[in-house]
Structure 1
């Protein structure tokens, strides 16, 4: 039967590339039993009969499961019914075909089943491609960044592993169906965001199931712009095919087992997205490893995610010199093409790069925003990996979280000193600190070359254990640097207004602004106008209007120096990633770029530079009321289970900043209230409200004390209930020092 299954090439390709979402219902566990065969996975109707026999003396056993559960929980209790369900399902084991699931990479697995069949299938498959991360309630998704090579398993109706918690009950009775999003709203939101850009494959469902239909149709707004979905059910016929085809849903008449066997036959194991860095025997990575050395899946995941192996055979997009000289420095194409000029500190760093011993080493590069740190770092990494120096080099422009745990394996496999070049080193100062301390403790020869903003380093270094062996400052342009830059601008046709001047006068023009940010100087010298006016006109000239709004939303978030998740932007503007590629790539090509963010496992957007994003934001929202409206709009769609969204909320809600920006306290209160309504951690919000009261001219010490007490009470409650987020942790610690602030 598996041979006769017909799946579109598009769906097959998405599964092969690890972009599909597997959505499993009760039929996916059909036929599963306990090891001794005494228990079996029950259908909904069979579970209803079992509950009726246990709690109702066999009465009403022909009613719907939800109705039977209503009566049972009324006569007994929610805990008793949930405990009984756990007894039924906890010994159920996966069948052999279930162990094909972890041999593919999935964007996510979603299920309404209470059992642990999928989790057990992953645990019992040593060759699994991903590590399962079970998501049952709001807050669980935060662990995805700490779980290397994770596949989130969304248990949207609960799980037998957590039946003792009545705050997150199993969704079985009608009352629970009506309130099923309580404690799960961010979980459901995360799934719906994914489903706008990734194909969902429904298996083991009767699509007519009212709750499944509700989920399905909630995804149908703008379904023309989402990928095609698929549903697997052995009873599908032509009527189903014609009906669901209207909603971009392929219907496949097959069992779940037949579906898994089919894709296993159709997709060669070597072509599945393993996150493998050794897919070619002579690949750039393999030459650094000892003979027959094979990295673990965790190491492969880190190197294909947060760490980029730098080598001169990297796949690089076509370079665009104009974009580069206007501030887009986040790619390798300009470096490979030689668009950058030699900074004085580059040769100094490279000359001192060798270490005579195996001690870890920290090299620090400091500079103000827009000084050219990112370009300098990429040039250093590129030269390190070249044939003349020939170092084992990696690049990271986000967080080093998880890298600490693979350093010793990476060194053991290679036997080489490891160079890790880190842009924006204080983005996750804790992870950087942990990596450095671990390398020191284990005597792993690692050289960290880290760029930071000078002011941020000065304010945080006292709390860290980082001691730089070498420290460099990226200062103003020298005359020689300005001369080289003018030569490059001329060579690549990017002189702009400077083309009317002789070469010496071009250099003098750049040097006349040598104390300005390099980013600002380049814009103003080549375009012949004030940077704010340049960016304001550029923003106003973007069309259509939807593209202009999309750009502004991205600027509003990227100015905070956080990844701008495509799912978040989709909720703000209604534009999913597919629409961005098809409709808005051209009008935004010069000002926005997209990339895959390993942290959120989502696509993300960024502008050319955070400083440019801040200027556009300021110019678009000149009045405090306009600015407040945009901040409220952003806060209303943030999902704090994603660290980037949580970080954005933390930066938007800083009490001192809000006190400075909003003289009208009613605007500030709107911002704080919208954060509370959006589910941002209350303890953190209360802490920031207290700071606002202490710093605002119209603030009140009495109100500040009230919010301090609320923050303390909220943090203590969450600490006793379940661990906390970074916001929650800062709230619980911050209230102790808030008065002295």
Structure 2
């Protein structure tokens, strides 16, 4: 980096060639100071001191704003902090208007903007361009550490306000005094520590700061106290620097550009206008339709998708891999199968293709998942690429293939918009890397979002590969619905073995002189290696000395490169990439030395650098080895002792500073170690403890740490877990249902421990009541998850069995358990077998103790019915019984009787559910609205059902505008919806699905729409197979209507 002290042509060329491209390509973090807002030659800190001193009629001998506010704060007779903040706001914020410079800043392609300004100039400038042709990137304002955890989409820029905001001074206090900085310390640390993740290609640019101003100098020192730059250069746009000051800036690794902010931005705008449009100039992924014509993708959609959703086609060029490198274990990509490096196991591939077609043709609310399972290194990922390639070659007019690079960066709406332009009937989406815990969860989350959309113009199949032992671990905690597993551990047959030998020979890895020698090698593959591809490759290529070969390669590296190789392997053995910043810290080098000794070092293709299309402060450069197998083998050779592996992992984790990315990295690593049983439980516990302090405020880490503490199952650790969860909840702006559920479970476990210790059960009741209240909140926030009910039901069953209750309370407890089972059975769609198993255990261990048959149970209910105080509860239990045996004709009689007790909460809840499930009856709709009107708490207690039942009732009443308001709330307020939950529009007279006449109107937003003639309303089609129907515009059909959580859908029946 060099100083640019004058506007010479040479210096302007440096700006255009070096600095400006970094902004255009989103490789620059902007630090925005007050000088960009006030446009004055006076330093803001000194100006505030002078003007406010004049206002108070005092003169303090300080030139540092922090010292000034500190001294005034100690004198309550003359100073009021609220008055000071209001004066600052009125003087330096409200009177200022956005300039052309501000307008240009919000149009520029920053990676992130970090500011100590508290004004609203950037927000106002952004509002002025919203909806114009300049509005491609969205400004996402971040004002506290909780919201900083937000991952920006590709079309979003985080605008981080470190020092408060005048939009709400109470919620986001202005930062001036030492006490203020102490209070904001956590926010500063989290934001600035996140910057250490970035590679050397990311620039730091400061505008509006003059580091000769004491206040700005103090800010720089504070920034650098977090070591966020790690000795990287900061570029400072400052018009007031003199030549004699340059040595100071060079020593502090600050490169000065002697320009005003207006001049610098003006030069950039002129340069950008001389280029092609910024987004046209960027590399953009190409997509083609089934006819291989390029799809015209709108710029905003292309920006949101970025490199995170790529099409596997002739247009997409993966990184080139030499054949010999592929056979040596290089990570495969689509180019491998396009060039036919792989040996196709024909029978297996044909079987998988048949299953893929079958899954695509099935009509299921959930998008199907095809999982190719097997052992380490047998070519599962290659087989996924091969499957897609073959389907594309077999039926190019019907199939398209894609690969998800980062599911967190894309949404189902954008996917639908793109795929609707493809004209393909069948879409295969490859989801790579699900051996990593977080990626496996993102696959299921992504599948749920796709399923809710119910695309009708095309069918989607999600394809993934995973080691069978890892999948077995995942399935212990997650039920995989509509998912097919195919084990691909199939040995080579003789023809396939011969093809492999030929390809290894062609690539120069082995040799044979004649057919006889070739047959000897083929025999060895079939007989000695049992047709195993992994054993064949590592044995033939390295002549069975693969361990020595790996060690030889390791020994050829420099000492620093050896460390990088080992540290990278400790992560990549679990398919986890290693961020460059962690390696740099582990090797203890500054960036310049690290760049020279590691980044630019020829590591003999053993260490692979991988650049990721990241946003914000997410890592953009990672390291990996050629293949996880290489990493695994190196760790086995260098760290065969478990204690040494533990010590190394402990050293790695101690080097990690807190930020959101690192919190996820820690959990992925610890979960992988647990799943692989690489370390003992005690050692894993210790690793969690090592990270416990640094990551104490992160919700994701705290959740998993609390689970770890819970499993230790002692009172001390349970109390620590509760405290840690409570702390995180106290600083979050929104409720986190994962943490709420975990705290409920922890309180339940504490109740069980206290129950064993107490006679009076005072503490036991405290923990029971706390757990019960938290479980209730969990069911409200996350009503479709099995986790919302399983532990809640366990608690209530435990209370029923253990806590001494009188007869009335015992019956009420039994009713509560039945109510929870009813809600769970009608809400949960994943892991529903947990609920079924619990119901079976409850009947066996509780119900059968007093009623071994249905007749005995009904007699028992008749007996308690005779007692007036228990009668409503007896009726409720009868209702649940007759509903379970589908004697629905008896339900209405029970409901009529229950209505006399509608003042009881248990009764009111059942009436609400009954009316809501039978809204085709006019009288039930009236009663539902009366019930809601009489109890305003229903919406708070059961918001999902409130909006769902209300929208259905309004639809039956033909009040579709009111209905749409409730649908909008369901779609936008609740994150995790059940795509299977639906009710059918029933004819009140026939009690059968009502059939409507309809006409197809158009295809909008990749969904075919019909207009129902009797209702004069348009609806999207429900997901189904409509191949037999004429779906042209104006064609007439008969349809049924279905109430999904996301709206009404029509289904063509004739």
1:73/1:347 CA distance change after superposition, 3 Å? farther
> How far did 1:403 drift?
2.9
Alignment partners' CA distance in 1, 2:569 and 2:650: 15
1:159/1:108 CA distance change after superposition, 3 Å? same
Secondary structure class of the residue paired with 2:728: helix
Question: Which of 25, 29, 32 in structure 2 is aligned with 1:24?
Answer: 32
Question: Which of 674, 685, 690 in structure 1 is aligned with 2:690?
Answer: 674
> How far did 1:486 drift?
1.7
1:462/1:710 CA distance change after superposition, 3 Å? closer
Question: Which of 549, 554, 560 in structure 1 is aligned with 2:568?
Answer: 554
Question: Which of 302, 308, 325 in structure 1 is aligned with 2:310?
Answer: 308
Q: Give 2:100's aligned residue.
A: 96
**Deviation by residue 1:527-586 (Cα, 9 ceiling, x = unmatched):** 1236555434433x1421000011111112223333322223223224578766654355
1:592/1:708 CA distance change after superposition, 3 Å? same
Q: Give 2:321's aligned residue.
A: 319
Q: Give 2:341's aligned residue.
A: 339
> How far did 1:675 drift?
1.0
Alignment partners' CA distance in 1, 2:563 and 2:738: 29
**Deviation by residue 1:581-615 (Cα, 9 ceiling, x = unmatched):** 65435542422222233452521222222333233
> How far did 1:27 drift?
0.8
Query: Is the 2:497–2:531 contact (alpha carbons within 8 Å) kept by the matching residues of 1?
Result: no
> In the alignment, is residue 189 of structure 1 matched against residue 193 of structure 2?
yes
Alignment partners' CA distance in 2, 1:510 and 1:724: 58
Query: Is the 1:89–1:160 contact (alpha carbons within 8 Å) kept by the matching residues of 2?
Result: no
> How far did 1:31 drift?
4.5
Q: Give 1:569's aligned residue.
A: 583
Q: Give 1:366's aligned residue.
A: 372
1:170/1:634 CA distance change after superposition, 3 Å? farther
**Deviation by residue 1:231-268 (Cα, 9 ceiling, x = unmatched):** 21222344455664576654322211221121111124
Question: Which of 396, 399, 403 in structure 2 is aligned with 1:395?
Answer: 403
Q: Give 1:66's aligned residue.
A: 66
> How far did 1:123 drift?
4.2
> In the alignment, is residue 452 of structure 1 matched against residue 465 of structure 2?
yes
Question: Which of 107, 110, 115 in structure 2 is aligned with 1:106?
Answer: 110
1:245/1:488 CA distance change after superposition, 3 Å? same
> In the alignment, is residue 149 of structure 1 matched against residue 155 of structure 2?
yes
Alignment partners' CA distance in 2, 1:384 and 1:493: 31
**Deviation by residue 1:74-100 (Cα, 9 ceiling, x = unmatched):** 436766755665565664542232122
1:292/1:692 CA distance change after superposition, 3 Å? closer
Q: Give 1:488's aligned residue.
A: 503
Alignment partners' CA distance in 1, 2:82 and 2:636: 53
1:645/1:475 CA distance change after superposition, 3 Å? same
1:158/1:708 CA distance change after superposition, 3 Å? same
Alignment partners' CA distance in 2, 1:42 and 1:512: 81
Structure showing greater radius of gyration is 2
Secondary structure class of the residue paired with 2:368: strand
With the length of structure 2 as denominator, give the TM-score of the two structures. Answer: 0.59
How many residue pairs match? The answer is 712
Alignment partners' CA distance in 1, 2:221 and 2:147: 24
Alignment partners' CA distance in 2, 1:466 and 1:668: 27
Q: Which runs of 5+ in 1 are unaligned?
A: 33-40, 694-700
1:506/1:559 CA distance change after superposition, 3 Å? same
> How far did 1:202 drift?
1.8
Q: Give 1:423's aligned residue.
A: 432
**Deviation by residue 1:475-524 (Cα, 9 ceiling, x = unmatched):** 22221332222221111112389999922232233334656974454113
- Listed as ranges, the matches of 1:477-516 within 5 Å are 477-479=491-493, 480-495=495-510, 502-512=517-527
1:606/1:688 CA distance change after superposition, 3 Å? same
> In the alignment, is residue 661 of structure 1 matched against residue 679 of structure 2?
yes
1:278/1:205 CA distance change after superposition, 3 Å? closer
Secondary structure class of the residue paired with 1:661: coil
Alignment partners' CA distance in 2, 1:65 and 1:404: 49
Query: Is the 1:566–1:576 contact (alpha carbons within 8 Å) kept by the matching residues of 2?
Result: no
1:714/1:179 CA distance change after superposition, 3 Å? closer
1:419/1:109 CA distance change after superposition, 3 Å? same
Question: Which of 266, 269, 286 in structure 2 is aligned with 1:264?
Answer: 269
Query: Is the 2:370–2:485 contact (alpha carbons within 8 Å) kept by the matching residues of 1?
Result: yes
> How far did 1:415 drift?
4.2
Alignment partners' CA distance in 2, 1:499 and 1:131: 66
Query: Is the 2:288–2:422 contact (alpha carbons within 8 Å) kept by the matching residues of 1?
Result: no
Secondary structure class of the residue paired with 1:595: strand
Q: Which moved more, 1:676-685 or 1:261-270?
A: 676-685
**Deviation by residue 1:330-386 (Cα, 9 ceiling, x = unmatched):** 444433432222133334445666656997853513222322111122233445556
Q: Give 2:540's aligned residue.
A: 525
Query: Is the 1:231–1:251 contact (alpha carbons within 8 Å) kept by the matching residues of 2?
Result: yes
Alignment partners' CA distance in 1, 2:142 and 2:515: 61
Q: Give 2:331's aligned residue.
A: 329
Higher relative contact order (CA 8 A, sep 6+): 1
Question: Which of 406, 417, 434 in structure 2 is aligned with 1:409?
Answer: 417
Query: Is the 1:381–1:395 contact (alpha carbons within 8 Å) kept by the matching residues of 2?
Result: no
Q: Give 1:636's aligned residue.
A: 654
Q: Give 1:697's aligned residue.
A: none
1:289/1:229 CA distance change after superposition, 3 Å? farther
Secondary structure class of the residue paired with 1:406: helix
Q: Give 2:916's aligned residue.
A: none
Alignment partners' CA distance in 1, 2:186 and 2:119: 21
Alignment partners' CA distance in 2, 1:496 and 1:644: 47
Query: Is the 1:52–1:59 contact (alpha carbons within 8 Å) kept by the matching residues of 2?
Result: yes
1:469/1:656 CA distance change after superposition, 3 Å? closer
Secondary structure class of the residue paired with 2:716: helix
With the length of structure 1 as denominator, give the TM-score of the two structures. Answer: 0.82
Query: Is the 2:196–2:228 contact (alpha carbons within 8 Å) kept by the matching residues of 1?
Result: no
> How far did 1:707 drift?
0.9
Alignment partners' CA distance in 2, 1:530 and 1:152: 52
Secondary structure class of the residue paired with 2:655: coil
Secondary structure class of the residue paired with 2:150: helix
Alignment partners' CA distance in 1, 2:310 and 2:113: 27
Query: Is the 2:586–2:652 contact (alpha carbons within 8 Å) kept by the matching residues of 1?
Result: yes
Q: Which structure dedicates a bigger proportion of its chain to helix?
A: 2
**Deviation by residue 1:43-98 (Cα, 9 ceiling, x = unmatched):** 223333455567x5655397431122113444367667556655656645422321
1:508/1:642 CA distance change after superposition, 3 Å? farther
Q: Which moved more, 1:515-524 or 1:603-612?
A: 515-524
Secondary structure class of the residue paired with 2:31: strand
1:87/1:475 CA distance change after superposition, 3 Å? farther
Q: Give 1:545's aligned residue.
A: 559
Alignment partners' CA distance in 1, 2:329 and 2:155: 33
